[in-house]
Structure 1
Amino acid sequence: MVIRSAASLPLPPEDRDLSPHTGWTRSHWEAAADALLAAVRPFAGPEQALITLPGPRPSISGTRSDGLEGYARTFLLAAFRIAGAGGDDPQGLLTRYAEGLEAGTRAPTTDRELTDRDPISWLAIGDRNQAMVEAASIALALRLTRPWLWDRLDPEVRERARAWLAGALHHTPVDNNWWLFPFTVGGFLAEAGLDEDGAAEAAVRRGLAKIEQWYLGDGWYTDGRPRAFDHYNGWAFHLYPVLHAHLSGDRELLDTYGGRLADHLAGYARTFGADGAPMHQGRSLSYRFAAAAPLWAGALTGRSPLTPGATRRLASGVLRHFLDRGATEPDGLLSLGWYGPYPPLVQPYSGPASPYWASKGFVGLLLPPDHPVWTAPEEAAPVERTDAVHPLPQPGWLIQSTVADGLVRLHNHGSDDQPADQVLPDEPLYARLGYSTATGPLPDGPPDNHFGLVVDGQVSERGRIRPFGAGDGWAASAHRPRIGAVELPGVTVTSLVLAHGADEVHAHLVTGAAPGTEVRHSGWPVAGTAAETWTDGPLAAAGTWTDGSPAGARAVRLTSALQQVEGYTAAETVRVPAGTAFGPICALPVLSGRTGAGPSLFVSVARLSRSAARSLDGPSVSTEGALIRVVWSDGSSHEASLDLDGPSIRRKD
């Protein structure tokens, strides 16, 4: 799929010879970085110490922390830009960031709010406070620009900055990817010869030891919770260790963490749509094109299974995807959202400058202009080569992609973001059965991509997931459905997805429920500026479009179809006016039925596609007890049997 819509920032002409898929080259990345940095310049405070961007509300850390965030995250972008240019800095960026460093560290404070008396000082680093996060970006930026900034500072300023940064080494981070923030600070201080007491080297060792407990293999980390998988794998767990190993020249460390990154990229590269969209799953999605960071890191360190042309195609596709779709406001600032502003996506820790962690997506500028990643012709992304269904057993995911429409779907049977010692309410960005590059979960209203039992008018939540694995065209899991904080006594739902081409077969075996209990299964939530819905007997479907979309006015962009096979007795399509991150109007297919005496099997066929088709000519599916037989359109087949201990799967080509 060739991306042709116009970007929102001033950019050079496209080069379709070098980059036939996106049209973008290194000069486009440089121009995008320059434009993003120019947009924040008017919001720098006195002496450049804090960059306080406008926004609907401050983060829970307060306005001073938000201003520090604006400084740190844009400094990181400036560092990638200038280090990649060999120190060339015609805009004088480093002069401004050096001035801010000198002013902000004069008298660090614990006062969370900016005042007329003190509109300059940085927030002091403390236990689990946001200043520790920003210290990592500042330390990495200083490390990258050391010859042109740090080494030219007055000794007194260096000492004040060192003392402020060292606070990260002596305070406690949140027990998750945050351990990599003191790790990153320690790496810079040790390299700069500022580790007299050994605390910096200790922070490096401690950070690597901490993340080791969350490494499951095949390039996948959980994020401090037993089953929390998301983009933090790429833009945190892999990025910081491999950058440290690369910058320090530690070959042994790079062999370990670079090898893990390569393993991760083998699956991760399959999660990008042909339009450049990353997977809409997990928290902190307003970081947007930070999703490109691990792709670039693999190329930078020579630890990637991707060719240079495929790397640039994927990374440029991500950046262009968002800039073409309104990620920046008219004043050029990144908004808190996905395309434009989207309040339901904003976490309590998010402030107006939080989206500038997207700066990590520019790590590719560290590669010199003559590197093959910039000079090789773009090559097709995995989604553009062949239809594929790829299992990722560690996170319990099944990645399904189709060439015809460039869509990628993630079937989730392993990620729930639940802590070890309690079960919290379902988090829509983790607990759903499916995610994609073109849909987002509903923040309000009926749960999408969900199977639940209805008790006293409430649909049960999924809670903690027990994964059964993912394999050749399948993924499966079980959960104990709950209403609020209370599990339905003795009830278990065993779930299975089978996928082939664009088609999905979903099966849910309910055991222990009272006969006659209502169940509901929902499909893909498609959104746009307009929608149409239809039902046809056992089929519920919806189509959405965006007026004036690149495909043409009122062009159908997405269709979601869900058809009952076994156990369900009714089909309907629900309109959800609140919409999703992909559009203000959403439509959702829903099936319903009731349990019988003993274990009850519910089977459906689903499809998410860029099609205007009003029917689902899907696979042939039959059931016999708990046995499910599926014959796909090309004659290949799956046979699956479900019980409390998981599925038994046979595949025949």
Structure 2
Amino acid sequence: MSVAPHPHLHLPPTDRVLSPRTGWTRAHWEAAADRMLDAIVPYATPGFAQYRLPGRTSWSGVVSDGLEGFARSFLLAAFRIAGAGGAVDPALIERYAAGLAAGTDRAGAEAWPALTDCSQQMVEAASVAVALHETRPWIWDRLDNAVRERVVDWFSGFVGGRTWDNNWRLFQVVSEEFLASVGAPHSRRDIESGLDRIDDWYRGDGWYTDGDGQNFDYYNGWALHLYPILWSRIADDDGGRTAVHRERLHRFLEDYPHFFGADGAPVHQGRSLAYRFAALAPVWAGALADCTPLAPGLSRRLASGTLRHFVERGVPDERGLLTLGWYDTFLPATQPYSGPASPYWASKGFLGLLLPADHPVWTARELPLPVEESDTRRALPAPGWLLHGTRHDGIVRLVNHGSDHQPPPAEGADPAEGTEDPHYGRLAYSTATAPQTAPHAAERAVDNHLALLSPSGTPSRRTRIHRLRCEDGIAASWYAARLPGDEHRYRVETTSVLHGPWEIRVHRVQAPEGATVREGGHTVAHAHPPAARTGPGWALTRTADGLSSAVVALHGWDTTADVARDLEANAFGPHSATPHLHLARHPGGTSTHVTLLALSRDTLHPEALRTAATIRTTPHSPTVTLRFLDGTVVEV
């Protein structure tokens, strides 16, 4: 896509000495924050207790959405106010002080909904609590006693309350710790049990699952690591927990820069992606808590590169607003709990403004991202992922053999139970592509999926992922394929092998005789229809700006291949296309299929790629040997 420097923001001049990679300085961050805060003022209710932004209402209703607008923007305002030592436009402070007074007036026209068990208000209360703590000298300490009492009364709905058993436990933790910090009644048991609970979800190497199961995504950084760090800034006595949280965040950040492309884009995976640059929260948290392994110049380069990436692509929009989408508004990539103010959890991406202007993260010269220095490859066994990036085009790809967003299986449960989510169930994601999420395209499930097709064309779904292996350059898993009207469960086992810029997938597929087998590669999307080419055993599609995706049959496929096109199905653009391979009639029993997948800004030559590896299968043995042109041999 074409990229304007900053289409909807007036920004300071770039500084290519301090920031040779992005040109951005702290002043750019302050300007972006100020524009976002100014832009929402026309949507405020008269007392500033709610910001009722335009867009689709969430399932919680317009009043809850209005509170969300207040709370999430208050988080951004707090970082701006505290980071400037209160030296901001006084109207900014006055707006949020007035909103606190109006929102906690139960008899008023702008009253916030009470905090009840598992209510959306719990999420928003945590943002209010953090913002109040960080701005205490300028807001809380200056509120009338009656308003402070009403704020405490509103927060008291948390005490002894029940939250959803996932990252929501931390909303109760920080909110009740704020109550403790102002001498208000609270439950130490609520706080301690919430912090104990996230320990149950820690899987090692800096990774938490968001609740029971295999729920790995950006909530690991912008919630499960972030809130314990923010909690420790409020707590008088952390009971020794902060050291553990700092150690885990340090380990997580060792790998985290590998999720970002050279253009600043984060890998597009998981839910709530409308939060966009909230993905930067753990980077800033590491610097704030002095537990980051990243050099200051790398932290700022990563953060500035990502914020600039979105700004260059029209985020915020011409009104200065964050919309429900990735670049433009795109509702099929959102969740029903998201309302028009939900994207303002992106405020967490501005956490770095709490660091003083003379902190090394703002004064050190920028350093390159890992993918800017060399090709990269990283195995992350905790979430079951492989990451690999290519320096020449700056793309990072994620191979998924572990995160499925399914509840933990019950004893004796169907191995294929669950509902598929394309943000989790696909075999691969990247910084340059998104899964097909519009219902009509998600039903087809072509992209990055190995499916059995029923005679009517219904694809099997990769719901629960059963892990087998995840180590340097190789990961494997299986899923149980279901077909309509067939009680049998067919095992589809996939091993991904990384070699240079390519992913080679080796599939062992159980299927009934006559079933069709289909595999798709990465979907590319653009404002204009991507070009498509096919040949014997390969298919390729290419966007107008030179992003190509190809699938190449190395073993076990028919010679026919095709490109599936869709419209308004992808967060990256209105026209999308996915290359895919077929086996028209499975012989029954178990078959082996080997595919090379390429996603690149290079020109791809699929017929040449068919010679990239020699495949040897052994009769009556599950072993497949891959021999690459450089002499590398891999046995699967």
TM over 0.5: yes
Does the C-alpha gap of structure 1 residues 501 and 247 become closer, same or farther in structure 2, counting only changes over 3 Å?
farther
Q: State the one-letter code of the partner of 1:441.
A: P
Q: 2:604 aligned to 610, 613, 633, which one?
A: 613
- 2:481 and 2:489 in contact (8 A); partners too: no
Q: 1:144 aligned to 125, 134, 149, which one?
A: 134
- 2:81 and 2:135 in contact (8 A); partners too: yes
Q: Is 1:122 aligned with 2:88?
A: no
- 3-state SS in 1 of match to 2:228: helix
Residue 225 of structure 1 deviates from its aligned partner by 3.6
Corresponding residue for 1:631? 627
Corresponding residue for 1:170? 160
Q: Is 1:392 aligned with 2:380?
A: yes
Q: In 2, Cα distance between the equivalents of 1:595 and 1:240?
A: 50
Q: 1:371 aligned to 359, 366, 373, which one?
A: 359
Question: RMSD across aligned C-alpha pairs, in angstroms?
Answer: 1.7
Q: In 2, Cα distance between the equivalents of 1:70 and 1:101?
A: 13
Q: In 2, Cα distance between the equivalents of 1:541 and 1:411?
A: 20
- 1:474 and 1:496 in contact (8 A); partners too: yes
TM-score after normalising by structure 2: 0.93
Q: In 2, Cα distance between the equivalents of 1:141 and 1:612?
A: 49
Q: Describe the superposition over 1:450-472 as per-residue Cα deviations: whole angstroms up to 9, x where unpaired.
A: 00111232111112110113111
- Consecutive unaligned residues in structure 1, runs of 5 or more: 109-117, 546-554, 641-653
Q: In 1, Cα distance between the equivalents of 2:451 and 2:200?
A: 33
Corresponding residue for 1:603? 594
- 3-state SS in 2 of match to 1:83: helix
Q: In 2, Cα distance between the equivalents of 1:12 and 1:576?
A: 40
- 3-state SS in 2 of match to 1:405: coil
Residue 397 of structure 1 deviates from its aligned partner by 0.5
- 1:607 and 1:616 in contact (8 A); partners too: no
Q: In 2, Cα distance between the equivalents of 1:39 and 1:9?
A: 11
Q: Describe the superposition over 1:398-442 as per-residue Cα deviations: whole angstroms up to 9, x where unpaired.
A: 001110100011100011111235732210001000111111111
Q: In 2, Cα distance between the equivalents of 1:236 and 1:34?
A: 24
Corresponding residue for 1:304? 292
Q: In 2, Cα distance between the equivalents of 1:9 and 1:565?
A: 48
- 3-state SS in 2 of match to 1:46: coil
- 3-state SS in 1 of match to 2:577: strand
Q: In 2, Cα distance between the equivalents of 1:612 and 1:377?
A: 34
Q: State the one-letter code of the partner of 1:478.
A: W
Q: Which moved more, 1:444-453 or 1:25-34?
A: 444-453
The count of aligned residue pairs is 613
- After TM superposition, the structure 1 = structure 2 runs for residues 438-587 of structure 1, keeping only pairs within 5 Å, are 438-443=432-437, 444-445=440-441, 446-447=444-445, 448-457=447-456, 458-483=458-483, 489-511=488-510, 513-530=511-528, 531-545=530-544, 555-556=545-546, 558-569=547-558, 570-587=560-577
Q: In 1, Cα distance between the equivalents of 2:616 and 2:253?
A: 38
Residue 487 of structure 1 deviates from its aligned partner by 7.3
Q: In 2, Cα distance between the equivalents of 1:415 and 1:525?
A: 20
Residue 145 of structure 1 deviates from its aligned partner by 0.5
- 1:389 and 1:500 in contact (8 A); partners too: no
Corresponding residue for 2:342? 354
Q: In 2, Cα distance between the equivalents of 1:411 and 1:573?
A: 21
Q: Is 1:591 aligned with 2:578?
A: no
Corresponding residue for 2:225? 238
- 2:178 and 2:234 in contact (8 A); partners too: no
Q: Is 1:11 aligned with 2:11?
A: yes
Q: Is 1:427 aligned with 2:440?
A: no
Q: Which moved more, 1:67-76 or 1:342-351?
A: 342-351
Q: State the one-letter code of the partner of 2:217.
A: D
Q: In 2, Cα distance between the equivalents of 1:328 and 1:13?
A: 19
- 1:135 and 1:165 in contact (8 A); partners too: yes
Q: 1:180 aligned to 135, 152, 170, which one?
A: 170
Residue 628 of structure 1 deviates from its aligned partner by 2.4
Corresponding residue for 1:75? 74
Residue 83 of structure 1 deviates from its aligned partner by 0.7
Residue 635 of structure 1 deviates from its aligned partner by 3.4
- 3-state SS in 1 of match to 2:155: helix
Corresponding residue for 1:648? none
Q: Which moved more, 1:268-277 or 1:611-620?
A: 611-620
Identical counterparts, % of pairs: 48
- 1:543 and 1:612 in contact (8 A); partners too: no
Residue 59 of structure 1 deviates from its aligned partner by 0.8
Does the C-alpha gap of structure 1 residues 533 and 297 become closer, same or farther in structure 2, counting only changes over 3 Å?
same
TM-score after normalising by structure 1: 0.91
Q: In 1, Cα distance between the equivalents of 2:628 and 2:390?
A: 15
Q: State the one-letter code of the partner of 1:635.
A: G
Q: In 2, Cα distance between the equivalents of 1:46 and 1:407?
A: 46
Q: Describe the superposition over 1:291-310 as per-residue Cα deviations: whole angstroms up to 9, x where unpaired.
A: 00001101111111211111
Does the C-alpha gap of structure 1 residues 344 and 269 become closer, same or farther in structure 2, counting only changes over 3 Å?
same
Q: State the one-letter code of the partner of 2:406.
A: Q
Q: In 2, Cα distance between the equivalents of 1:121 and 1:9?
A: 33
Q: In 2, Cα distance between the equivalents of 1:459 and 1:37?
A: 46
Q: Describe the superposition over 1:131-150 as per-residue Cα deviations: whole angstroms up to 9, x where unpaired.
A: 11100000000000011111
- 3-state SS in 1 of match to 2:420: coil
Q: Describe the superposition over 1:188-238 as per-residue Cα deviations: whole angstroms up to 9, x where unpaired.
A: 11122223xx41x33321210121221111111111241111100000000
Corresponding residue for 2:271? 283
- 2:6 and 2:314 in contact (8 A); partners too: no
- 3-state SS in 2 of match to 1:540: strand
Q: 1:318 aligned to 299, 303, 306, which one?
A: 306
Q: Which moved more, 1:26-35 or 1:486-495?
A: 486-495
Q: Describe the superposition over 1:473-518 as per-residue Cα deviations: whole angstroms up to 9, x where unpaired.
A: 111001111246x87514211111001221110111013x223321
Q: Describe the superposition over 1:612-648 as per-residue Cα deviations: whole angstroms up to 9, x where unpaired.
A: 33436443131213322233454333222xxxxxxxx
- Consecutive unaligned residues in structure 2, runs of 5 or more: none
Does the C-alpha gap of structure 1 residues 474 and 41 become closer, same or farther in structure 2, counting only changes over 3 Å?
same
Residue 91 of structure 1 deviates from its aligned partner by 4.1
- 1:327 and 1:337 in contact (8 A); partners too: no
Q: In 2, Cα distance between the equivalents of 1:174 and 1:424?
A: 19
Corresponding residue for 1:59? 58
- 3-state SS in 2 of match to 1:291: helix
- 1:169 and 1:185 in contact (8 A); partners too: no
Q: In 1, Cα distance between the equivalents of 2:626 and 2:17?
A: 44
Does the C-alpha gap of structure 1 residues 559 and 478 become closer, same or farther in structure 2, counting only changes over 3 Å?
same
